[in-house]
């Protein structure tokens, strides 16, 4: 292959990548929490990050929209160093959904209008966009004036998700979004995430302690342990043909703990 064609092939391959981590290391208070992470996170796919408690899952997610910066290595998003993005722009494009949804005081609509882009679009009284957002997370727009703090846990998490989507992000980072939910609400959220990924062409990186969730909605899996990647690959590979013995063990024990 000549150089031009090789460059093009390289560029095409990269076009399918959202985040590229190169030998990323991170520490807190002098203690290493992540080491030597080299990883490609595919665009418009759901990557599920799994691993035992304390393995560095949340730390990894926090690096991806610069809630923290790694102490070594580099991270690129869409082929551009993360530090080259103005932080506000980065946080708009890469939204974070936390484990426990925090509702601001006021109605469901108020909570969505906290996203500035929607507030600006709100000049038209019908605000069909707000209704569409609520519909996209299975909340009936007719209840939008209800007090957000009175909602169930599952509804709050869906409003939080709609709020994150209001700024039209390209990437959603989700840190154990179902941890505080009952099984039924958790399944509902997963169904919605799978749908949103397809309809809105979102790249999602989701930390979960529920292996069943990761296998059901993930395209790719990353298994972390002790701040290092044990194995990363497609869900199918990791499930049926794991390269690391540790992956097989983890899958087995996690499956037994929560089938
Ligand atoms: N604020 C902090 N200060 C010091 N160490 C921390 C802090 N937060 C997390 N850690 C440590 O970093 C490691 C990774 O934590 P974390 O990323 O939260 O793991 P996970 O999300 O997989 O449970 C753990 O050993 C944890 O004790
Ligand atoms: Mg965590």
Mean of the per-residue pLDDT values of the chain: 89
Question: Residue 210 Cα, ligand 2 centroid: separation in angstroms?
Answer: 13
User: Tens of pLDDT along 49-88?
Assistant: 999 999 999 999 999 999 999 999 999 999 999 999 999 9
Q: Ligand 1 pocket by C-beta < 6 Å: which residues?
A: 28-29, 33, 51, 53-59
The structure's pTM equals 0.90
Distance CA 253, CA 247 (A): 10
Instruction: Give the containing element (helix H, strand E) for 72.
Output: strand 72-77
Q: Kind of pairing, strands 46-50 and 203-207?
A: parallel
pLDDT in tens, 220-237: 999 999 999 999 999 999
Q: Which ligand is nearest the CA of 51, by number?
A: 1
CATH superfamily of 14-257: P-loop containing nucleotide triphosphate hydrolases (3.40.50.300)
How far apart are the two ends of the chain, measured CA to CA in Å?
48
The closest ligand to the CA of 223 turns out to be 1
The two three-digit tokens of residue 83, written as one number: 């530090």
- 13 CA → ligand 1 middle, Å: 33
Q: What separation in Å is there between the alpha carbon of 57 and the centre of ligand 2?
A: 5
* pLDDT of 10: 56
Find the ligand nearest to 100 CA: 2
Question: What is the residue-wise DSSP string for 5-38?
Answer: HHHHHHHHHHHTEEEEEEEEEEEETTEEEEEEEE
Q: How confident is the model at residue 126 (pLDDT cuts 50, 70, 90)?
A: very low
Q: How far is the CA of 56 from the centre of ligand 2 (A)?
A: 7
**Cα separation, 69 vs 86, whole angstroms:** 14
């Amino acid at each position: 292959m000549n150089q031009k064609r090789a460059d093009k092939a390289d560029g095409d391959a990269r076009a399918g990548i959202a985040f590229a981590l190169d030998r990323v290391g991170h520490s807190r208070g002098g203690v290493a929490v992540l080491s030597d992470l080299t990883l490609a996170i595919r665009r418009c796919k759901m990557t599920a990050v799994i691993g035992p408690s304390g393995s560095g899952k949340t730390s990894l997610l926090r690096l991806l929209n610069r809630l923290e910066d790694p102490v070594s290595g580099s991270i690129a998003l869409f082929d551009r160093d993360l530090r080259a993005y103005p932080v506000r722009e980065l946080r708009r494009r890469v939204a974070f959904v936390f484990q426990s949804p925090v509702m601001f005081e006021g109605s469901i609509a108020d909570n969505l209008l906290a996203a500035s882009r929607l507030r600006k679009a709100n000049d038209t009284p019908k605000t069909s966009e707000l209704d569409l957002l609520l519909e996209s997370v299975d909340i009936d727009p007719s209840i939008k004036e209800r007090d957000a703090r009175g909602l169930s846990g599952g509804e709050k998490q869906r409003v939080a998700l709609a709020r994150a989507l209001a700024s039209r992000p390209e990437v959603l980072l989700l840190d154990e979004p179902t941890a505080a939910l009952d099984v039924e609400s958790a399944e509902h959220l997963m169904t919605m995430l799978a749908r949103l990924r397809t309809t809105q062409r979102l790249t999602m990186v989701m930390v979960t302690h529920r292996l069943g969730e990761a296998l059901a909605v993930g395209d790719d899996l990353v298994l972390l342990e002790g701040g290092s990647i044990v194995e990363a690959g497609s869900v199918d590979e990791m499930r049926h043909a794991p390269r690391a013995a540790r992956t097989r063990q983890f899958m087995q024990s996690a499956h037994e703990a929560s089938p």
